[in-house]
Amino acid sequence: MPLNRILVADDEESIRWVLSKALKQKGFSVDLAHDGRQALELIKDNCYDLAILDIKMPGITGLDLLDKVREMNNDLLVVIMTAEASMKNAVEAMKRGAYDYITKPFDLDVIDAIIEKVAKARDIAGQVHTLKQELKDRYQVEKNIVGNSAAMQDVYKTIGKVAVSDVTILIQGESGTGKELVARAVHFNSERLGKPFVAINCAAIPRDLLESELFGSEKGAFTGAGERKQGKFEQANHGTLFLDEIGDMPLDLQAKILRVLQEQEVTRIGGNQNISVDVRIVAATNQSLVEKVRQKEFREDLYYRLNVVPITLTPLRERRDDIPDLAIYFLSRSCAEMSVSPKRLTEDALALLRAYPWPGNVRELENAIKRAVILSNDPLLTAHDFGGLLPTKELTQTGTAETSLEELVDLKLRSCMNGIEGLDKGDIYAMVLEQVERPLIRLVLEKCRWNQVKAADVLGINRNTLRKKISDLNIEIKRG
């Protein structure tokens, strides 16, 4: 944010002339106003980087003009000039939001110093603004949480509604569904943008260390406490504290968390001073807190305090239409992060990814894409590059509730097609039909206790047709 355009307002023509000449020699564009009203009109109609205002002017004083600038939510920096170097004037100017003040008469060196100071301030402000925008862009919901399913649309709507408030949020979902990403999206789209986002996994830290991690400790509070330590609540002051896997938090610590939520104060271990904290809480769990409350493993009062706004993340297997978009997003990001040439997913690869049940959810999909990018030298990633995802017998059995028969057949067929070049013309249809028919007829016969009349009726075919297929497919008949 470079300093370019400056407004000088003073009822003394000599002051206006001196400042205008000095500032223009340094390359600045300068506008002049002979009183407060003219200055106000210029500010309304133009965009200035700095205004140098006399404290006493006809019509509207410099301080009143400063108030109006602030009411406009203007980023304009204001320097007040005063001929009375009194503490009252200085305090009043700074209290109303002036960036600085100078006393008359002044040397031009003072103006140079002020200009340099303002330029640095605007540069820093520009960097902060850019950083905030980058953070906001990085965690924009539509850019970083991928998916167009109805379930994800509900999540987007909820984030948009609650981000700007300070309500406590409870995110529920299986491991790998992206709970921390949602928590960060809430924080970076809130008024707390630019303040700390602090995350702690309550399940990953031993119980005897978790309390000091959360609340901090005083020097000598316990063995190994060689110095004062700030806890996560203090570190997150004015920002957001993400309590991941809160369902694993011990009951005695749950009581202390509840107290912090109620009192907005923490006390370090070994200390007796209550420390005020302004922290927004976003909690997450992969467990049913309702069930844990029922089993007396989680405090009911804390549950209701956390569950002000619930956000539920659906498992990936229940929103399969989002898989292609997620896969393409992770592929693009992985290639960029690893500095490799862009790669594409073939249709057979996408079909495999859609059919796989993803017990590890979005995190497992991301890791599968990364692994394929690392191991493959080809610009096209095929189903073969995801060989580790081919369904085992156990996975197929457990996945049938979520994966259709057609998807499983498609998945298996694609894994068998690597040797297609060696097949004779016309072989594929017969081979596939035989391998599908044999287990199907055998299974129906078993369920019908090898009663062929009943089996033919279940299959919807003629009994003679069934007998011919049993013979052609070499199915061994057992007696029921």
Name the residue ranges covered by the structural domains of the chain.
5-134, 147-314, 317-422, 427-472
- What is the pLDDT, as a whole number, of residue 287? 94
- What is the pLDDT, as a whole number, of residue 28? 87
From first CA to last CA, the distance across the chain in angstroms is 87
Q: In this structure, which amino acid lies at residue 36?
A: G
Question: Which residue ranges of the chain lie beneath pLDDT 70?
Answer: 1-2, 73-74, 84-91, 125-144, 390-428, 479-480
Residue indicated by tokens 């330590």: 229
Of all residues in the chain, the percent with pLDDT exceeding 70 is: 85
> Superfamily for 5-134?
Response regulator (3.40.50.2300)
- What is the pLDDT, as a whole number, of residue 141? 47
Q: Where are the alpha helices (DSSP H) in 50-145?
A: 62-71, 87-95, 108-138, 141-144
Distance, CA of 266 to CA of 283 (rounded, Å): 18
Query: How many other C-beta atoms lie within 10 A of the C-beta of residue 123?
Result: 13
> Superfamily for 147-314?
P-loop containing nucleotide triphosphate hydrolases (3.40.50.300)
Residue 200 contacts residue 243 (beta carbons within 8 Å): yes
Structure tokens of 352? 């495999």
List 5's β-bridge partners, or say none.
Answer: 29
What CATH code is assigned to 317-422? 1.10.8.60
Beta-carbon-side half-sphere exposure of residue 421 (alpha carbons within 13 Å) = 1
**Number of residues assigned to the chain:** 480
313, with CB counted inside 10 A (0-12, 13-18, 19+), is buried
Topology alike, domains 5-134 and 147-314: yes
Q: In this structure, which amino acid lies at residue 118?
A: V
Please tell me the pTM assigned to this model. Answer: 0.58
Quick one: which H or E segment has residue 198? strand 197-201
- The CATH number for 427-472, chosen from 3.30.365.10, 1.10.10.60, 1.10.645.10, 1.10.10.10, is 1.10.10.60
Residue 304 contacts residue 333 (beta carbons within 8 Å): no
- What is the pLDDT, as a whole number, of residue 423? 53
- What is the pLDDT, as a whole number, of residue 396? 43
Residue 243 contacts residue 282 (beta carbons within 8 Å): yes
Distance, CA of 187 to CA of 165 (rounded, Å): 10
- What is the pLDDT, as a whole number, of residue 302? 96
